[in-house]
C-alpha cells in the first residue's frame, strides 16, 4: 500500500511517536503535545492506522473511567518514519528557505 | 446564565449523535474521541474537542453515503443490526412513521387542503416558463372549462358570466359573455368587466348594447373613448401631457363627464361571484378573491379622465380670461361634479384629487369675483377637504394594494411551509428509494436503513409535520375570511385576502413592496435561478450516480 502523504501536521504527530517508539500514547495527550485539534489529529491517526503504520489498543486505566484508545507505531511504521522523516524535514526546510527569501 | 457543566453535556451528546450516524468502520474512533472527552480539561475545551470529532465522523458518514467503498462494512443481517441498536432504530422508525401519518392526516382537513393549494400557487410562474417569456398566460383552465360546460348544460347565465370574467382565452371570454347576456340581458354589464368591448375588434356592437342597457352610466362612454384612443403629447408646458384634437374622443369624454352616474359594476360582480361560488360549492380562493378577476375600470379610463379634466380646466381659464365667467363656471362645475362621482368609488378617488381641488379653487375664485362670499367660502372649504382626505385615501389605497405586514408574513410562511413540505416529501422518497436500492429487495423485513438514511428520514418526517402545522396555522385566518364571503357574502375583508393571495402567488424570494420606497424582486429572476440550481443539482447527481456505478461494478478476478 502506498504510504500516506506527509503533511506538516502528520510530521508533527510522527515526531512525537518516534521520540518514544514503544510507548502507547493517548489521543488527548498527543493533541496537547502537537497543538492539533481533535478534528485534525484524528484523521491523521485514522490514516496512519489504515496504512498499518500505527497500532491501536483499548486500555482500562481506573475503575469507573471509560477505557481509552491508545496508539503506538508498528515496527513497519517506525522504520518508515526513520527513513522518511529526515528527507521530508529537509524538503520542508528547503521550501521554508525558498519562501523566506534565502534566510534559513 | 449557562451552567458550567452545560458545554460538556452538549459535547457528550454531540459526539454520541455523531457516533450514531458514523459508518461502521469509524465506530472505534468515535468511541475513542468520546472516551477521551472525560480527560479533556475545561468544559469549553471539551466542547471544542467534541466539535472537531463530530466533524470528522460526520464527514465519514457523508462519504460512506455517497461512495460506499468496498472497505466500508455495512450491517448485513437483521440479527446483527437488532442485536446492537434495535431499540434506537425501532424508535426512530416509529417516530418517522408517526410524523408522516400525522402530516397526511392534515390533508383530511379541507382548510389544510386549501392552504396547500395556495402554497402551490407560487410554482405557477416557475412551471409556466413559456408564459414568463412571452408574457402570455395559459390559454385554457380545466377548472373553468368544466364549470362553463356545466353552466351551459344548466343554462346558468350567472355561472357563464362568472367564467366569462375569468377565462384566460379572449375568444372564449367573449363567447361566454355573449351567451350569458343572451340568456339574461340583466348581465349585459359583463361586457364592461371582462374586456369584451376593449379586447375585440368587433366590440362596438357590444358597446352599443351596453350603452342602451345602462344609458345613465359614464362607464360605457369611457370604454368608447378608450376604443377610439387619443394622442397625448408631453412638453415642458404640459409635463403630464396634452391631448391632441380628436372630436370623437372628446364627444365620448364629454358624454361621460355629463353622465349622472359612474358605476364600475364591481358590486354586481362581487354579488354574482358570491352566488356562483356558493351554488357550485367552489372554494378556490383565487377564483373568489383574486384581484385579477376585477377589472373595475377601463385601463386608460383614469388617465383619460385626468387629461380631459385638465383640458376642461384650461378651456375654463381661457373663457374666464375672455370674460365669459358663466361658461367658465360650467366647465369647472363639470370637473367638480365628475370628480365627486369618481371620489364615490374607493379605488378611483385618488386619481381625480388634483383636478378636483383645482376646480373647487377656481369656482371659489369665480364666486369671490362675483361677490358671493358664502359660495366662495364653501368652495374653498371643499378644496381644502380634498387635500385633507387625499392623505387618508392614499394610505387606504396603499394598504388596499400592498396589504398589511401580517398578510406579507403569513403569505411568506405559507409559501415557505408549502415548499418545505414538498422538499421533505422528496427527501423521504429518496431515503425510501435509497434503502430499497441498498438492500436490493422490496421485502419489508429485509429493508434495513443506514444510520444516515435514518437521520435524514427522521429530519424530513419531523420537518414535514412542523411545516404542515405552520401552513395550517398561517392560512386558517384567510380561510375564515373566504368562508365569511362565501356563506354570508361579507366582502369587507376581501381586500386583505386579495393582498395575501397576491403575495402567495409570487415564487419564494420574489417580493414587491408598495410605498415611499417601492421595490420589486421579479419572479423571473427567481424562476431563472430555480431552474439553474435544479439543472446543476441534476448534473451533480448524475455524476455521482455514474461514479458509484463504476465504483460498485464487480471486477473480474485477476488470473493466476
More confident residue, B269 or B241: B269
> Based on the domain organization, do B108 and B38 belong to the same domain?
no
Note which residues in 67-86 of chain A have CB less than 8 A from chain B.
Answer: 67-69
Judge: A39–B55 Cβ closer than 8 Å, yes or no.
yes
> Based on the domain organization, do B56 and B113 belong to the same domain?
no
Q: How many CA atoms lie within 13 A of B179 on its CB side?
A: 23
Judge: A69–B31 Cβ closer than 8 Å, yes or no.
yes
Q: Is the separation of the CB atoms in B140 and B169 below 8 Å?
A: yes
> How big is the CA angle at A56 (ends A55 and A62), to the nearest 5 degrees?
145
pLDDT tens-digit map of B43-76: 999 999 999 999 999 888 877 776 665 545 444 3
In a domain, B488, yes or no: yes
More confident residue, B547 or B248: B248
Judge: B53–A26 Cβ closer than 8 Å, yes or no.
no
Q: Chain B closest CA to A65's CA: distance in Å?
A: 8
Picking from B31, B52, B73 by the largest number of A CB atoms within 10 A of its own CB, the best residue to mutate is B52
In a domain, B23, yes or no: yes
Q: Which residues contact B521 (CB under 8 A, 6 or more apart)?
A: B509, B510, B511, B512
In a domain, B505, yes or no: yes
Indicate the pLDDT class of residue B79, thresholds 50, 70 and 90.
Answer: very low
Residue whose C-alpha cell reads 466542547 in the numeric block: B47
In a domain, B411, yes or no: yes
What are φ and ψ of residue B2, in 5° steps? -80, 130
A56 at the B interface (CB within 8 A)? yes
Dist CA B439 CA B227 (whole Å): 70
> Based on the domain organization, do B517 and B421 belong to the same domain?
yes
Q: Chain A closest CA to B82's CA: distance in Å?
A: 24
In a domain, B449, yes or no: yes
Q: Whole-number mean pLDDT of chain B?
A: 80
Q: How many CA atoms lie within 13 A of B189 on its CB side?
A: 23
Q: How many CA atoms lie within 13 A of B38 on its CB side?
A: 11
Residue B314, pLDDT > 60, answer yes
In a domain, B483, yes or no: yes
pLDDT tens-digit map of B102-156: 999 999 999 999 999 889 888 776 666 555 445 455 677 788 889 999 999 999 9
Residue B324, pLDDT > 50, answer yes
> Based on the domain organization, do B110 and B15 belong to the same domain?
no
User: The whole model's pTM is what?
Assistant: 0.57
Class of domain A8-98: mainly alpha
Contacts 24+ apart (CB under 8 A), B74-78: B74/B23, B74/B24, B74/B438, B74/B450, B75/B24, B75/B448, B75/B450, B78/B445, B78/B446, B78/B448
In a domain, B318, yes or no: no
Picking from A9, A36, A38 by the largest number of B CB atoms within 10 A of its own CB, the best residue to mutate is A38
3-state helix, strand, coil in chain A (%, to 5): 55, 15, 30
Neighbour count for residue B442 (Cβ, 10 Å): 8
Chain A's closest residue to B56, CA to CA, is: A39
> Based on the domain organization, do B19 and B112 belong to the same domain?
no
Instruction: Tell me the chain B residues in contact with residue A43 when contact means C-beta distances shorter than 8 Å.
Output: 56
- Residue B263 grid coordinates: 358605476
> Based on the domain organization, do B22 and B108 belong to the same domain?
no
pLDDT average, residue stretch B427-453: 76
b/e string for B407-422 if b means 16 or more Cβ within 10 A?
bbebbbbbbbbbbbbb
Residue B236, pLDDT > 80, answer no
Residues of chain B in Cβ contact (below 8 Å) with chain A: 26, 28-29, 31-36, 38-40, 48-53, 55-56
Q: Is the separation of the CB atoms in B460 and B427 below 8 Å?
A: yes
Q: Chain A closest CA to B4's CA: distance in Å?
A: 21
Instruction: Tell me the chain B residues in contact with residue A66 when contact means C-beta distances shorter than 8 Å.
Output: 34-35, 38
Neighbour count for residue B42 (Cβ, 10 Å): 11
Picking from B35, B41, B42 by the largest number of A CB atoms within 10 A of its own CB, the best residue to mutate is B35
State how far Cα B483 lies from the chain centre. Answer: 19
Q: Which residue range forms the structural domain that includes residue B51? A: 1-72
pLDDT tens-digit map of B334-369: 988 888 888 776 666 666 788 888 888 889 888 888
Residue B304, pLDDT > 60, answer yes
Q: Percent of chain A beyond pLDDT 90?
A: 38
> Based on the domain organization, do B68 and B108 belong to the same domain?
no
> Based on the domain organization, do B506 and B460 belong to the same domain?
yes
Residue B498, pLDDT > 70, answer yes
**pLDDT score at A39:** 92
CB-nearest to B35 from A31, A40, A69 is A69
Please tell me the total count of domains within chain B.
2
Amino acid at each position: 500500500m502506498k504510504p500516506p502523504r506527509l503533511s506538516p501536521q502528520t510530521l508533527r504527530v510522527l515526531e512525537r511517536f518516534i521520540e518514544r517508539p514503544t510507548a502507547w500514547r493517548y489521543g488527548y495527550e498527543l493533541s496537547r503535545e502537537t497543538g492539533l485539534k481533535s478534528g485534525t489529529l484524528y484523521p491523521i491517526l485514522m490514516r496512519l492506522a489504515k496504512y498499518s503504520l500505527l497500532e491501536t489498543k483499548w486500555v482500562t486505566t481506573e475503575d469507573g473511567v471509560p477505557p481509552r484508545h491508545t496508539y503506538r507505531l508498528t515496527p513497519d511504521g517506525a522504520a518508515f518514519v526513520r527513513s522518511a522523516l529526515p528527507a521530508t524535514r529537509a524538503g520542508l526546510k528547503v521550501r521554508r528557505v525558498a519562501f523566506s527569501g534565502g534566510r534559513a | 446564565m449557562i451552567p458550567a457543566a452545560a458545554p460538556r453535556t452538549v459535547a457528550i451528546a454531540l459526539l454520541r449523535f455523531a457516533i450514531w450516524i458514523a459508518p461502521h468502520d469509524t465506530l472505534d474512533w468515535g468511541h475513542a474521541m468520546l472516551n477521551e472527552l472525560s480527560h479533556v480539561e475545561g468544559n469549553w475545551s471539551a466542547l471544542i474537542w467534541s466539535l472537531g470529532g463530530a466533524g470528522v465522523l460526520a464527514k465519514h458518514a457523508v462519504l460512506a453515503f455517497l461512495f460506499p467503498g468496498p472497505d466500508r462494512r455495512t450491517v448485513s443481517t437483521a440479527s446483527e443490526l437488532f442485536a446492537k441498536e434495535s431499540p434506537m432504530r425501532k424508535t426512530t422508525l416509529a417516530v418517522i412513521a408517526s410524523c408522516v401519518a400525522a402530516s397526511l392526516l392534515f390533508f383530511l382537513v379541507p382548510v389544510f387542503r386549501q392552504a396547500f393549494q395556495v402554497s402551490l400557487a407560487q410554482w405557477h410562474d416557475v412551471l409556466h416558463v413559456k408564459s414568463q417569456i412571452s408574457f402570455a398566460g395559459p390559454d385554457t383552465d380545466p377548472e373553468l372549462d368544466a364549470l362553463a360546460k356545466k353552466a351551459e348544460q344548466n343554462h346558468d347565465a350567472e355561472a357563464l358570466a362568472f367564467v366569462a370574467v375569468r377565462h384566460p382565452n379572449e375568444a372564449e371570454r367573449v363567447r361566454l359573455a355573449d351567451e350569458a347576456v343572451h340568456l339574461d340581458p340583466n348581465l349585459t354589464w359583463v361586457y364592461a368587466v371582462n374586456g369584451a368591448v376593449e379586447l375585440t375588434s368587433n366590440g362596438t356592437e357590444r358597446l352599443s348594447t351596453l350603452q342602451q342597457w345602462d344609458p345613465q352610466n359614464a362607464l360605457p362612454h369611457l370604454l368608447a373613448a378608450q376604443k377610439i384612443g387619443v394622442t397625448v403629447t408631453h412638453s415642458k408646458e404640459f409635463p403630464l401631457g396634452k391631448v391632441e384634437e380628436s372630436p370623437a374622443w372628446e364627444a365620448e369624454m364629454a358624454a361621460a363627464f355629463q353622465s349622472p352616474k359612474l358605476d364600475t359594476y364591481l358590486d354586481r360582480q362581487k354579488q354574482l361571484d358570491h352566488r356562483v361560488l356558493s351554488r357550485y360549492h367552489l372554494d378556490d380562493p383565487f377564483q373568489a378573491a383574486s384581484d385579477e378577476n376585477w377589472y373595475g375600470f377601463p385601463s386608460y379610463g383614469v388617465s383619460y379622465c385626468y387629461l380631459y379634466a385638465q383640458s376642461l380646466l384650461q378651456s375654463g381659464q381661457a373663457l374666464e380670461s375672455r370674460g365669459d365667467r358663466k361658461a367658465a363656471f360650467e366647465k369647472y362645475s363639470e370637473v367638480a361634479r365628475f370628480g365627486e362621482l369618481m371620489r364615490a368609488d374607493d379605488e378611483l378617488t385618488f386619481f381625480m384629487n388634483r383636478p378636483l381641488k383645482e376646480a373647487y379653487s377656481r369656482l371659489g375664485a369665480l364666486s369671490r369675483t362675483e361677490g358671493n362670499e358664502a359660495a366662495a367660502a364653501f368652495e374653498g372649504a371643499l378644496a381644502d377637504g380634498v387635500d385633507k382626505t387625499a392623505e387618508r385615501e392614499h394610505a387606504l389605497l396603499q394598504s388596499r394594494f400592498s396589504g398589511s405586514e401580517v398578510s406579507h408574513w403569513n403569505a411568506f410562511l405559507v409559501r415557505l411551509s408549502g415548499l418545505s413540505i414538498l422538499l421533505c416529501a422528496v427527501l423521504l422518497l429518496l431515503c425510501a428509494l435509497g434503502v430499497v436500492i441498498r438492500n436490493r429487495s422490496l421485502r419489508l423485513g429485509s429493508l434495513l436503513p443506514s444510520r444516515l438514511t435514518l437521520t435524514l428520514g427522521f429530519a424530513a418526517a419531523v420537518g414535514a409535520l412542523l411545516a404542515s402545522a405552520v401552513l395550517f396555522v398561517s392560512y386558517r385566518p384567510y380561510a375564515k375570511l373566504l368562508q365569511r364571503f362565501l356563506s354570508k357574502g361579507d366582502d369587507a375583508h376581501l381586500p386583505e385576502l386579495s393582498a395575501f393571495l397576491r403575495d402567495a402567488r409570487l415564487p419564494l424570494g420574489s417580493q414587491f413592496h408598495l410605498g415611499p420606497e417601492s421595490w420589486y424582486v421579479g419572479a423571473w429572476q427567481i424562476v431563472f435561478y430555480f431552474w439553474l440550481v435544479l439543472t446543476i443539482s441534476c448534473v451533480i447527481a448524475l455524476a455521482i450516480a455514474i461514479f458509484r456505478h463504476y465504483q460498485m461494478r464487480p471486477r473480474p478476478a485477476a488470473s493466476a
